[in-house]
Structure 1
Amino acid sequence: MLWTCSLGLWGLSRQDSVWRDEAATWQVAQRCTAEIWHMLGNVDVVHGCYYLLMHALFECFGAGTTTLRLPSVVATGVAAACVGSIGHRLAGMWVGLAGGMAFGLLPAVQFHLQEGRPYALVAAGAGISTLLLVTLLQGRGRTAYWAAYGGTVLLSGLLNWLSLMILPAHLATLVWCRAGRGVWTRWTAASAAATACVLPLILFSRSQSAQVSWIPPLTWHMLIGPAVLLAIGGAGALLDRPRAGRLSVAAVGLPLLAVPQIGLVGLSLVQPLFLDRYVLFSLLGLALLIGTVVGSAVRAVGPRYPRASMWVLPAVVVVATTSLLPQSLAKRSPSSRVDDVLAIASDVRRMKETGNAVLFIPAARRDTKSVSPSAFSGLRDIALAESPEKSGTLKGVEADPDRIRAAMLAQRRILLVTDATRVAKPVTAERDRMKASVLREYFTAVADEQVRGRRVTVYERLGSARWVSSAGRPWTPRGQGPGITKGTPGPGSPGT
């Protein structure tokens, strides 16, 4: 746990950057409870429990990157401790230590180790529930342990209902171990109770399924990653020499790795949902099986070189840490995410003039304003009809296209906040196409800045452009950005 938390605290602020997914957590957590409930009726109900938790933490400790990400650091540390404890109980100290330390080093875990999103908390819940199940299968637990097991599965399901795929993984473990009738009865009762409590959330969230419509359909190349993970896990399971009817690392780790991965693939055939973060908790099983590999190496070296066997794990950790260092550094840099909503706040402050208008293409880029409201003070959001807080949404409700067009034509100077060229997608929404068309026809770009996936461009009405930078120097348009050359201005995203 200490090892994993140390990895999490390393570079926690990511140079004070916050990307779009974390920005959703940031802005919602700062709303009052009534506004959060109102929003959950429209969007993101699947993350409602997490938003309420973060709201409480923001109220107690204030908004900041540390408050935003520290829960994920602690949760990942708890998950690593659970891996260590399970490995220790089932296969000895070296397997437990190796598995627990390997979990924090896995690249996908390092990514979500510092994320202001719920997936690390789900992994902690999966680790705790699996540890409770192992305790019960070893005959150490009492009835209260079954209640704790069901409660942990329930909380994980409320954080993300796809975490319920851990139940068929545990089911496979029970079959493998040939659990007794009493265990089956209690497990079925606890699992059914947890699932029944999460079911209303599952049914209600289906009405908001349009939120995941951007996820691409499953393709063969998407299966390469899961196949590699299953191959590594399968090798670890073979080294554990699994036998039917025996509780072992393979009996716990292999189903925990394989079942959620295969289950997500199956669900993605019905509706595209294939994102590795949804089954991040399955990497608990991979870490356990990696621990088995290291433990086997220690046992192999031990008889002939007793003293050398003590250094097998430290040597493996040093080699793995060194090998993964470039990737670890990359994941702690702002460029590891698709954008940074805070990056252009300083540019907006520098480029704006009091009374200017501001537009966002697409409307979801209004998250920059929601997270950094002070940077937009004095600017008029001329497209916004109802704020995100009042409308119960993340991006607010914009006016009709005709009304936005009239408001734009009444402006002399407009700041456009959009995606940087390298990450921008074609403009498809009617309002956004209209905004781009008006800017292209009646305005000209006089200043442009792109940083960390975000872009702010200043437009002035044709005939009034000054062609200077905000610092007062002559400004030369960037020819490589669409819509930036004089005579053909535009918002600068592909397709406009």
Structure 2
Amino acid sequence: MPARRPGLPPRSAVPRTRTPAYVTVLAPAVLTVLLGLWGIRREGSLWQDEAVTYDMAHRALPDLWATLGHVDAVHGLYYLVMHGVFRIWDGGLVALRLPSVLAMAGAAAGVAALGRRFAGTRAGLAAGAVFALLPVVQRYAQEGRSYALVTALVVAQTCVLVRACAERRRGWWAGYTVLGTLAVLLHEFALPALAAHGVTVLAARLPRTARAAWAAACCCITVVTAPLVLLSLRQSRQVDWIAAPTAHDVLGFLLTAGAGLACATVLRRRTTAVSRRAGLGTAALPLLLLLLPPALLLLACVLRPLYVDRYVLYAQAGLALLAGAALDRVWRSVTPRAVPALTTAAAAVVVAVLGPVGTDLRSPESRTDDVRAVSRALRDVAVPGDGVLFLPGSRRVWALQQEPASYGLEDIALADAPHASHTLYGEESPPAGIRGSMLRVSRIVVVREPTRERHESDAREEAKEATLRACFARRDSRVVGTARIDVYARGDAC
């Protein structure tokens, strides 16, 4: 009998069924696509990050390249991908979000394939279905940002890692390197996934050649992506808005970690002696993928706040793998009498996820803001000839879809438009110029986000506030999500 390759569960430890492998992989992918297409337009709403994607992807390639040299290089590859998508089909919100739907479907297929390899067909189907149903996965499957694509690449990279450790062919390690490089180029916070992979490889009983191959792959990924990382460090001011982790952030991580550990406990208690010697076992790799990336981001906050849960969205694949394997173990151990109760409980969870939670995720209120709602409110309160002022200047993101000039307003602080200045939000005049422009008009509509004002204050923002206090009086105000729109009229003091 040939010796078993270390690094994977032995074939005897993985339950076999007659379900074809393609069914295990395709079923969760189809489910993810169906959920992703459900309400994909989100009632025509668009939140600020998606508005940036839409604007950047519609810039000419020379303008886009010049902009990335100043700001947002971390998302540069994604903008190039979306530029290509819109060149092929400029389908508005559907074209903006469809790549994320398809990427998340690919991630679900990868999760199912991993689950099948680790714990059998039923566990793979369960893992893929759990992944597709996770509210956070449903949310970012319908978002015009890079997180779904990064998740798909990290899951694919994890699949290739498992094959590379099992078969020890150079081609698999080359594929691992390429996928890891693409993931990091799409978003640098794919790097913590390498840490999860590395700890797994080092802890497993693998040959020294496999460990050396993983280290070489990481070195290649680091060398290729280092220029982007260094450029992003020079542009780090764009993440100044990230605050220190709140109790809500920490609690969310702890609850997710607790769920993963509970599933791992079920697997450990019900694992045979053979599968405990499996190297990259059923629980080790998924658990590290779930815990290590977000934990590293939280620890990095000691130096600088960087933790945003969507930056490590791919960690949810680890939770789905653990949950799928645990559900399979529980299902195989229940008595016939318990089957109806277990089925009812599972159905109730699915109904809750697809009912109130799923409906809420597809409403405009599920996001922090709606660019189009802010534009409508601005148009309602303003009259032609009014000045408009954004506090802070980055809130001009709410005007990317429809410029104030299109309904007769003057952006009084703006010196150069975003496209002309190769920036995200345009270049504003110096403080003295802003004050002079404000004093030329009798009414100003101020579009502000109070939480951002605290993090993005500078001399320009101080000049805006000082002039408003000294020379204008607030006449009207309304709140639209996180935006507040104030109407100021000129007083007698200036």
- Indicate the TM-score class for this superposition, using the shorter chain for normalisation: 0.7 to 0.9
SS at match of 1:342: helix
Residue 326 of structure 2 is aligned to residue 299 of structure 1: no
Comparing 324-333 with 434-443, greater Cα deviation is found at 434-443
Contact 1:349 1:376 in 2 (8 A): no
Residue 360 of structure 2 is aligned to residue 330 of structure 1: yes
Match 1:229 to one of 234, 248, 256 = 256
- Could you say if the C-alpha distance between residues 117 and 436 of structure 1 is closer, same or farther in structure 2, counting changes exceeding 3 Å? same
Residue 160 of structure 2 is aligned to residue 132 of structure 1: yes
Q: Counterpart amino acid of 2:174?
A: A
For 1:1-53, what per-residue CA distance to the aligned partner results, in whole angstroms no more than 9, with x for missing partners?
Answer: 11122222222122111112222212211211111111112211111111111
CA distance in 1, matches of 2:137, 2:119: 23
SS at match of 1:215: coil
Structure 2 match to 1:174: 201
CA distance in 2, matches of 1:448, 1:221: 30
Tell me by how many angstroms 1:295 deviates: 0.3
Tell me by how many angstroms 1:261 deviates: 2.4
Structure 2 match to 1:261: 294
CA distance in 1, matches of 2:206, 2:487: 68
Residue 312 of structure 2 is aligned to residue 283 of structure 1: no
Match 1:434 to one of 454, 457, 463 = 463
CA distance in 2, matches of 1:351, 1:453: 17
SS at match of 1:15: helix
SS at match of 2:300: helix
For 1:348-380, what per-residue CA distance to the aligned partner results, in whole angstroms no more than 9, with x for missing partners?
Answer: 444444443322222112122222237734322
SS at match of 1:407: helix
Structure 1 match to 2:25: none
Q: Counterpart amino acid of 1:9?
A: L
Match 1:7 to one of 35, 38, 42 = 35
SS at match of 2:390: strand
For 1:111-146, what per-residue CA distance to the aligned partner results, in whole angstroms no more than 9, with x for missing partners?
Answer: 22222111111110111011111223332x743222
Q: Counterpart amino acid of 2:45?
A: S
CA distance in 1, matches of 2:332, 2:281: 17
Contact 1:260 1:282 in 2 (8 A): yes
Residue 56 of structure 2 is aligned to residue 28 of structure 1: yes
Residue 494 of structure 2 is aligned to residue 461 of structure 1: no
RMSD of the TM alignment (CA)? 2.6
Structure 1 match to 2:121: 93
Structure 2 match to 1:71: 99
Tell me by how many angstroms 1:298 deviates: 1.7
Contact 2:301 2:307 in 1 (8 A): yes
Contact 2:404 2:410 in 1 (8 A): no
Unaligned runs of 5+ in 1: 464-486, 488-496
The structure whose RCO (Cα within 8 Å, separation 6+) is larger is: 2
CA distance in 2, matches of 1:4, 1:313: 24
Structure 1 match to 2:68: 40
Contact 1:94 1:298 in 2 (8 A): no
CA distance in 1, matches of 2:439, 2:202: 69
SS at match of 2:143: coil
CA distance in 2, matches of 1:100, 1:316: 19
Structure 2 match to 1:145: 172
SS at match of 2:400: helix
Structure 1 match to 2:283: 250
Match 1:160 to one of 187, 210, 213 = 187
For 1:379-413, what per-residue CA distance to the aligned partner results, in whole angstroms no more than 9, with x for missing partners?
Answer: 22221111112222111111122222222222233
By percentage of residues, which structure has more helix? 2
Contact 1:218 1:269 in 2 (8 A): no
- Runs of 4+ in structure 1 over 6 Å off: 311-314
For 1:156-194, what per-residue CA distance to the aligned partner results, in whole angstroms no more than 9, with x for missing partners?
Answer: 000111212112211222234311233223322222212
Residue 151 of structure 2 is aligned to residue 123 of structure 1: yes
Taking structure 2 as the reference length, the TM-score comes to 0.85
Contact 1:87 1:99 in 2 (8 A): yes
Structure 2 match to 1:344: 374
Percent of residue pairs bearing the same amino acid type: 39
Contact 1:297 1:312 in 2 (8 A): no
Structure 2 match to 1:270: 303
CA distance in 1, matches of 2:149, 2:97: 11
CA distance in 1, matches of 2:343, 2:176: 34
SS at match of 2:447: strand
Comparing 90-99 with 181-190, greater Cα deviation is found at 181-190
